[in-house]
Chains A and B, each alone.
Chain A
Amino acid sequence: MIPLSHYLLLSAFLFSCGVLGVVVRRNAIVIFMCIELMLNAVNLTLVAFAQFLGDATGQMLVFFVMVVAAAEAAVGLAIIISLFRNKQTVNVDELNILKW
């Protein structure tokens, strides 16, 4: 059998990959995909805990995380399209209209 810790180590690595992508990459859409990767790493942790401890709450939480991820994808991509229409770029270094 595979112990719980292996699933946790895998998801820790995936989460760190997502963090690295958000910090290093400059393309807004790639940053977006890295956020999805982080959400998925957390989902893997939740399902692993749920199945190893025999409690369905973790799986329910994954279900709700997926709903939030879908809503986030729809709104986030709409924001990116709207930004691109105004600034002709999705490079986050050039999108500094909120900076003072």
Chain B
Amino acid sequence: MTFEQGVFYFLAGITVFSAVMMLLQRNPVTSALYLILNFFCLGGLYLTLNAQFIALVHILVYAGAIMVLILFVIMLLNLGDDKRLTEHLGLRMYLGIAVSVGLLVQLLYIFGFSSGVNAQELSPASVEMGTVEYIGKVLFTKFLFPFEITSFLLLAAIIGAVLLAKKKLVQ
């Protein structure tokens, strides 16, 4: 096993482990901490794909901003542990497991047997494509209009968040 494969399987293993642990934890704070571990490993996986810029932005935005926000809200609301999953779910939990396992099997079938994409190696252009320089160039030429539209989206989100968190739903 080469060094590259070792890194990939190590990161992939932690990613899978932390995703499963996030589902099984009853305390939302512990769930959030496992999700942060998951995000850091995903950032590492982006690095193995030569996508440095995406990896850094991913860690900044997800682990740095979104998860801090979620942890703030959990602590602000002062939530206790959830009830045990099996106590109050019975049939619905088995249905949920059946649905997601069905989805997983379908996805594996598609990914495993699709003949269209069968790449074994990273494209030679990928080293250059992950850099800030290249992404900046594409973002501000070909994708300039969508980029400007995102500013409206963020503005709407800011106004919406302030309005919703400030006002009471029922007067």
> Size of chain A's interface in residues, with CB distance under 8 A?
71
Report yes or no: A74 in contact with B158, Cβ–Cβ below 8 A.
Answer: yes
B70, A56: Cβ atoms closer than 8 Å:
no
A60 to chain B, nearest CB (A): 5
With CB as the reference atom, state the residue of chain A lying closest to B122: A51
**A85 → chain B closest CB, angstroms:** 6
- Residues of chain A within 8 A (CB-CB) of B76 are 81
Interface of A is mostly: helix
Evaluate contact between A4 and B120: CB separation under 8 angstroms: yes
Given A4-B117, A51-B122, A64-B150, A24 and B85 contact (CB-CB distance below 8 Å): yes
Assess whether B66 is in contact with A69, with CB atoms less than 8 Å apart. yes
Chain B positions within 8 Å of A, measured between CB atoms, are: 4-5, 8, 12, 15-16, 19-20, 22-23, 28, 31-32, 35, 38-39, 42, 45-46, 48-51, 53-54, 57-58, 61-62, 65-66, 69-70, 73-74, 76-77, 79, 82-83, 85, 88-89, 92-93, 95-97, 99-101, 103-104, 107-108, 111-112, 117-126, 129-130, 134-135, 138-139, 142-143, 146, 150, 153-154, 156-158, 160-165, 167-170
